[in-house]
Amino acid sequence: SWTISSSPLIYVNEDATGSQDGSFEHPYQTLSAALSAAPSGATIAVHADTYSEAQTITKNVRIETWAGTTLID
């Protein structure tokens, strides 16, 4: 039998409120929080918005926009 494993998928939405665990239902509010929680190889789905966060990414992660255009400034 074949085993298919995919990288963890972590969501970010600047408008998130309440508990934040990186799931679609409870995304992190900041890219910084998502990067801190993400293991190497994770995919971070960032909701369309402008994120004013200086970042130095030192992990092997994939960052994709989710629902439009995203600017990380």
**Is the whole-model pTM more than 0.95?**
no
pLDDT recorded at residue 1 = 44
Q: For tokens 């030192």, what's the residue?
A: 58
Strand ranges inside the chain, DSSP E: 9-12, 43-47, 50-51, 62-66, 71-72
pLDDT in tens, 19-45: 999 999 999 999 999 999 999 999 999
43: exposed, middle or buried (Cβ count in 10 Å: 0-12, 13-18, 19+): middle
